[in-house]
Amino acid sequence: MGGEQLRRLTYIAVQIGRRKIETLKDYTCVPPPDAARCDRLIEKYFPQEEQDTHIVRAPAVPVMIPTDTTATFMHVAIEEALSIKGSYLMTGDQLKQVIKDKPKKQRPPALTLNQPTARKPTNPNASSALLLTMAADPDCDDGLFSMFENNGVAVPGETPPEDLAKPANSERVAERRRRAEKLIEELMVYTEQKKSKSDENTDTIDSEAPEVDELANGFFEHQARSSVINLQTPDSSCKHEVIVPPEATYQPLVEPTGPLAMEFPYKLDTFQKQAICCIENEQSVLVSAHTSAGKTVIAFYAIAYSVKREQRVVYTSPIKALSNQKFRELCEHFPDVGLLTGDVTINPNAACIVMTTEILRSMLYHGAEVMREVGWVIFDEIHYMRDKERGVVWEEAIILLPDTVRYAFLSATIPNGSQFAEWISLLHGQICHVISTDRRPVPLQHYVYPMGGDGIYLVYNTAGIFNENRFNQAVQTFTSRSNPQLGAPERGRRGGPRDATSSNLCKVVELVAEAKLAPVIIFCFSRRECEANAIEVYEKINFNTSKEVELINEVFRNAVNVLSKEDRNLPQITRLLPVLERGVGIHHSGLLPILKEVIEILFSEGLIKALFATETFSMGLNMPAKTVLFTSARKFDGTAHRWITSGEFIQMSGRAGRRGIDERGFVIVAIDTMIGGDIAKNIIMGQPDALNSQFRLTYNMVLNLLRVEGIHPEYMLERSFSQFQNYISMPNVMDKVNALQSEYDNMDVPNEYELASYQITKSKIEELKKDLQKVITKPIYIVPFLNPGRLIHVKSGSDDFDWGVVVNFRRVVNKSEKDEASSEYVIDALIQVSPSCLGEKHLSRVCPPKAGESAKFEVVPILLNSIYAISTVRVFYPKNLHVDDNRLSVLRSLNQVKQSFPQSKGGVPLLDPVADMHIEDSSFKETSRYIEVLEKQLLDMPVRKMENFESAMKKFEEKKRLEAELNSAKTQLVNAHKLFHMEELQARKRVLRRLGFCDAQDVITLKGRVACEISAGDELLLTEMLFDGKFGDMDSSTCAAVLSCIVFQEKAEIVELNEEFNQFLIYMQRIAQRIARISAEASLPVNEEEYVASIRPHMMPVVHAWCEGKDFAAISSMTTVFEGSIIRTMRRLEELLREMCLAAKAMGNSELENKFTAASVAMKRGIVFAASLYL
C-alpha cells in the first residue's frame, strides 16, 4: 500500500464518524486530525468568555488525548469518541485548562485512552477503516492489531498483554496487510454511505471545502425593502407603479419634448404612452396586459431608442418558432436585425439581436463580448418564467445580466407584477416601473355549449356579470341528455362516445359559421383529438370560396417547393392540402414545422376559418380570431384529468377578438360532463396565475458558476426570485406565528392531561382499526360482499362521505402486467357529494357536503381502500339511476336504515370479519382483541364522566390542531431565514466531487470544464461517456443514434434494437445507475428507476438510418412517432452534437471532435432542417 493511499485512508478514517453536535450554539467543532487544529477550531466556535460555561453545560463527552499519542492511537480515540453521539474532540491539555477551576460535580465525564471500555464502535465497517490504517502503521504492534481486528474495538491499556506485545515481523505485516487490503472496497462503500447519512450533511472526504451558512439569507435579508410610488394616469384602467430601491432617489418622469425615437401611425393607448415615457427616461419597465393589447409597441420603441443612442438591444423570446416570427416582423421595421437560435445564425453583430433565452444565458456564462455593448434587453412573454422546466433559464439570465442594462418586460396579465419588479429593483439597484391594464382592446362574451344541446348560452357578458340562471339552463339541458354517472368512460377512449362527441362538435362549429363568428380557433387538449376533430369538420363543412381555394393552393405550392420531390409527397403533406382547401386547419407539435408555418400564414391571411389547435398555439403567436371554442373544460396534464385553470383559460381565450376588426370577441366552452357553477365561475372569472419562481438547481448551472471567476453557486441562490419571494413572506409568517402563539397561550382546557391520555388511547384504536381495514378490504375477503345495494361507509383521507350504496364493481388490470397482483377493483358507489364538486370523476377530487349544504347523491368510482366499513344491510335501488328521482329514492331508503339503527344503539350493523367474512388470520384476531381491551379502557376512563366532556374534548382537539398549526408556522419561519436549495447545492457538489468534476476546494477540473459545454442533454452522463472513451468505439452515425436516447422525450412504442444498439443502451443505463446511486449516497434523492428510464432508445434506428442517408419517408415509416416530433428530436440532437464537438475540443480530443462534426453534417439535410418560411 503506497504512502499516498495510506494517507488518504488515514484521512478517511479520521473523518468517518463526524457528527453534528446539539450545543447551545447549534454547532461544535469538526473533529480535527491534530491537536493544533483542534485548538484553532475551539477558539473559532467557542469565544473565550463562553468556553468554560459552554463546554461544561454541553451534552458532550470530551476525549482526553495525551500529546505524545501516536497517529494510530489518535485515530482510534477519534473513532471511539465520535461513535458516541454528542461527543467532541479536545486535547488533554485543553480540557484541563477549561475545567481546572470548576467544581468536581460540574466536570464533564471524560473518555481517555487509558480508560478501558467494553463498548464496541457503532459500525464494524468504521472499525475496518481504522484497521486498514493500523495494518500499515509501523507504530502499531500485532497485539493491538489483533485485538482491534477480532473485537471490533481498540482497548489500549497502560501495558498490553505480554503474549500480544511482540513486534510485527515482515511476514505478519504482509499477512495483515493482505487481510486489510481486502477491506478497501468495503471501506469505500461505507464512507460513501456514511457521507450521505452525516448529520452535518457535509462531505466526509472534504473537510476543507468552503462552508456557507445556510441560515444567512444574505443578499435580500441585508437590504431594506423597495418603496412603491403610485402614479396617476389619465385612464382608470391603467395602473402605474414605480418601484424604487432603498438607496435610489426617485425623480418624476420627464415627458419627452423632442422627436420620439419612433413614430406610430395610430393613436397609442395610455399604457403604451406611459411605458414609452419610462424608456425615454432610461428606466426599466414591466408591462402587463391582455393578449393583443399592443405590448409589441413597447418592444419596438425600446429597440428604436437603443438604436438612436447607438446601443445594442437584445430581444428574447421563449421558443425558436416565436424568435423566427419576431425576426421577420422586426426586419420590416428596422434595418439591422440579427437572429441567434442555435439552429440559425443571421447577422450576429447586428444592433438588434433576436435570440432565445437559452442563448442569452449561454452568452452570459461564457462572457460574450457583445454583452458589453447591450443597453436594453427585452424579455417577451416573461410570464413563461413560471414554466416548471424552463423557467429557471429566465432567472439565471436576469441575475447574470449587469446592473447597467435596462429592461423591458412584456407579460400577459399577472397579479404580482410589483413583486417581480421589486426583485429587479433590489437585484440590480435600479428603478423599475410596473404598468398594467386590465382593459381588453376587444371585449369578450362567454358562452356555454352543452354537448348534445341545440344552442349556446351566454353566461358571462362584457360587463363582467355571470348569469347563473343561463348557466343552470345549460347544465340542465346537458343533464337531461347525458349520463350523469361520474364513473362513465372518458370521452374519446375505447368504448367511449367518440362519434357522438365529434357530431356535437360539428354542430357547434356549424353554429359558429352560420352566425358569422368565424374565424374560430378550436382548442383541443391532445394532438390525436385535434386531428380527428378537424377531419370530422372537414368532411361536413366547407368554409371557402373557389377564389380562396386558389390562393391556398398558391401559398401551399410556394411553401413546399423548397422541399425535394420525395419530401413533397410525404403523406402528412399530401393529406393536409384538401383539408386546408375547405378552410380547416390543424396546428400541433406533431406537424412538420413547415406545415405549421404554412397554416399560420394562411390563418393570418384569413384563408383558414376553423383552426384546430393544441394550447401551445396560444404561446406568443400573434394570431387572433373572432371566436375561441374549447372542446372541453377538462384536460389531461400528464398525471390526471382535471379542470383547466383560470390562467390557462385566460391565455387561450385571449385569442378571441381581433383589434380594429371585431367589436366583440366570442368564447364558447363546450361542456361534455357535469360541471358545478362554482367551478365554471372559477375558470371563467378567476384571476390569472401569479408569476411564481420555478428556480431549480442544475448541474450545468453549478459547474458554470464554479468555472466563472468572482462568482459562486451560492451567488445564484441568494439572488433568485424564489429566495426573494421567501424573504418578503417573513413578516406575514411572523405575524401568523405571533397570532397563533397568542391564541394558543390563551386557550385554557380543563383536565388537559386526562384528555390527552384519552386522545392517545383513541388514536391508538384508530390506527389499529386502519390495520384491520387493510385486511378486511383485501379482494379475497371483501369482493364476495360487494353486491349491488350493499351499504358501505366511505372515507377518503379526512373526508367522511358517510354511508353509501354499492352500484357495481369492476376489476381494472394494469396493461403492462396482467396478473392479479397488478389489478385493482373499482367500485361505483352512490354517495352524497357537495354540489361544488359535480363533474369530478375521482374520489380524491370530490368533497362531502358541508354543514348546512344541500347534498347531491351521485355515483362516484372509489377504490377498496376507501371503504371504511361494510354493513350487513342491503337496500333495493332502481336500475335507471340516470333519473334524479330514482337516486333520491335510494337516499330515502338509506336514511331510513340509519334511523332504524341510531348511533346511540351501535349504529348500522356491520359484517363480522370472522363469522361473516371468514377471516382466520391470527394477527387479525389478536389485533381485534386488543382493540376491544383498549375500547373498554376508553369507556372506563374517569375523564369521560366529567361534566361537558364532549365540549371539553372538542376544545382539546382544537388546541392540538392549533399547536400543530403553530409548529408548522414556526418551521415555516425558520425556513424563511434559510437559503433555499442550500442543502441540495451541497449535495450536488458532493456528487460532482465524487465523480471528479471538481476538487475538494470546489475548483473545477477538466472533467467539469467539459461538462460546462453540454446543456442540451444530461451533462453528467455524457461527460462520463466521453471520459470512458466509449464514443471512440462508434462511427459517427452510431454516435448520433446513441445520443438520441438523451434528447427524445415523448411516449412511444418500444422498438426492437439490434445487438450493437442494445449493448450501448445497457452501457448508458449502467452509468445512469451509478450516478443515481452516488446521488442517493450524497443525500440527493434520485429515483433510480425513473432516471434510467429517461434514457429512451425509441429513435435510435430512425436516427441511424437518417445519418446513413435514408429519406424522411423511409425513416418516418419506422416509428409511430409524429413527423413533427421526429424533426424536433433531430434538431435537438443536432444541437447536442454541436455541444459534444465543443466538449471534445475542451478535452483536446480532435478525433472525437471530427466524429461529432461529421454526425452533425450528416443530419443537416432535407426536410428535417428546411429553413423557416419566416426567414
Domains of the chain and any CATH numbers: 3-197 (no CATH), 227-437 (3.40.50.300), 444-485+497-685 (3.40.50.300), 786-911 (2.40.30.300), 1013-1169 (1.10.3380.30)
The stretch 627-643 carries a mean pLDDT of 82
User: In this predicted model, what pLDDT tens digit does every residue of 1114-1127 receive, in sequence order?
Assistant: 999 898 889 999 99
The stretch 874-881 carries a mean pLDDT of 79
- Half-sphere exposure of residue 594: CA atoms within 13 angstroms, side-chain side: 24
> In the structure grid, which three cell numbers stand for residue 622, read together?
400573434
Name the more confident of 210 and 452. Answer: 452
Report residue 1172's pLDDT band, with 50, 70 and 90 as the boundaries.
confident
Beta bridge pairs of residue 799? 796
Q: Backbone phi, then psi, for 642, in 5-degree steps?
A: -150, 165
Query: What is the value of pTM for the model shown?
Result: 0.72
Q: How many residues does the chain have?
A: 1175
Helix, strand or coil, per DSSP, at residue 490: coil
Q: Could you tell me which residues come within 8 angstroms of residue 130 by beta carbon, excluding any fewer than 6 positions away?
A: 13, 72, 75, 76, 79, 148, 154
Cα torsion 472, 474, 480, 483 to 10°: value is -100
Cα torsion 214, 215, 219, 220 to 10°: value is 130
- DSSP secondary structure of 1099-1163: GHHHHHHHHTT--HHHHHTT-SS-HHHHHHHHHHHHHHHHHHHHHHHHHT-HHHHHHHHHHHHHH
pLDDT at 47 over 50: no
- DSSP secondary structure of 12-58: HHHHTT------TTS--PPPPSSHHHHHHHHHHHS-HHHHHHHHHHS
Residue 585 has a pLDDT of 92
Residue 974 has a pLDDT of 74
Report residue 499's pLDDT band, with 50, 70 and 90 as the boundaries.
low
Count the neighbouring beta carbons within 10 Å of the beta carbon of residue 820: 9
Report residue 821's pLDDT band, with 50, 70 and 90 as the boundaries.
very low
Q: Could you tell me which residues come within 8 angstroms of residue 781 by beta carbon, excluding any fewer than 6 positions away?
A: 775, 913, 917, 918, 919
* 680 close to 839: Cβ distance less than 8 angstroms: no
Of 107-111, 700-704, 1144-1148, least confident by mean pLDDT is 107-111
Please tell me the distance from the alpha carbon of residue 659 to that of residue 289, in angstroms, as a whole number: 14
User: In this predicted model, what pLDDT tens digit does every residue of 480-490 receive, in sequence order?
Assistant: 554 443 333 34
Q: Could you tell me which residues come within 8 angstroms of residue 429 by beta carbon, excluding any fewer than 6 positions away?
A: 245, 247, 248, 403
Residue 173 has a pLDDT of 54
User: In this predicted model, what pLDDT tens digit does every residue of 777-819 receive, in sequence order?
Assistant: 888 888 889 888 889 998 887 788 889 888 888 887 654 444 4
Please tell me the distance from the alpha carbon of residue 1025 to that of residue 1032, in angstroms, as a whole number: 10
> In the structure grid, which three cell numbers stand for residue 50, read together?
463562553
The per-residue pLDDT of the chain, averaged, comes to: 77
Please tell me the distance from the alpha carbon of residue 443 to that of residue 436, in angstroms, as a whole number: 17
Question: Which class for 501: exposed (0-12), middle (13-18), buried (19 or more C-beta within 10 A)?
Answer: buried
User: In this predicted model, what pLDDT tens digit does every residue of 252-307 receive, in sequence order?
Assistant: 999 888 888 899 888 899 999 999 999 999 999 999 998 888 899 999 999 999 99
Alpha helices in 941-1033 (DSSP H): 949-976, 982-995, 1006-1012, 1019-1028
Residue 1137 has a pLDDT of 95
Report residue 970's pLDDT band, with 50, 70 and 90 as the boundaries.
confident
* 32 close to 82: Cβ distance less than 8 angstroms: no
Q: How far is CA 297 from CA 195, 232, 432, 487, 658, in A?
A: 56, 22, 19, 50, 16
Q: Side chain identity at 880, as an amino acid letter?
A: N
Q: Could you tell me which residues come within 8 angstroms of residue 682 by beta carbon, excluding any fewer than 6 positions away?
A: 646
Omega within 30 of 0 (cis) for the link into 519:
yes
Taken in order 756, 760, 761, 762, the sign of the CA dihedral is: positive
